[in-house]
Amino acid sequence: METKRQQKISSLLYRELSEIFMIELKGLTAGALVTVTKVVISPDLSVAKVYLSIFGTKRKKAKVDQIGERAREIRGVLGNRVRHQLRSIPMLHFFEDDSLDYIEKIDNLLKDE
């Protein structure tokens, strides 16, 4: 169960990271549409798990790894944007959000029957 503080910080990070990927990191996401789907913050507010949905490329895992390698740079950009709202910027860990693939797989299985 997330506290109100965790929910507020998750929401803030979600909005800011979405804008960062859309505007400032176009070169990193070239050839693919990268969308932030969810941000989960740890209870001590030191780690944020960022779930990304990736379209337009077959190599989704490679794209997530590429983004993960630049997590320090992304954290720096994020820090500049939220420096007046957060005392410390959480470490960012990126994961592929495969929920849409899972939904599509279930839908296809139901259509086959």
The mean per-residue pLDDT over the stretch 53-78 comes to: 88
Q: What is the CATH number of the domain that holds 26?
A: 3.30.300.20
What tokens were used for 48?
Answer: 């944020």
Q: What span, in angstroms and rounded, lies between the C-alpha atoms of 64 and 47?
A: 17
How many Cα neighbours within 13 Å face the side chain of 9? 26
What is the average pLDDT across 55-82? Answer: 88
Q: What's the domain range around 62?
A: 4-112
Q: Give the mean model confidence (pLDDT) for residues 61-83.
A: 90
Q: What is the DSSP letter of 90?
A: P
CA nearest neighbour of 3 among 46, 42, 50, 36: 42
Tens of pLDDT, residues 45-61? 999 999 998 887 788 88
pLDDT value of residue 113: 65
Render 28-70 in DSSP notation, one character per residue.
TTTTSEEEEEEEEE-TTSSEEEEEEEEES-S-HHHHHHHHHHT
Per-residue model confidence as pLDDT tens digits over 27-38? 777 778 888 999
DSSP lists the bridge partners of residue 31 as none
In whole numbers, what is the pLDDT of the chain averaged over residues? 87
What is the number of structural domains in the chain? 1
The whole-model pTM stands at 0.83
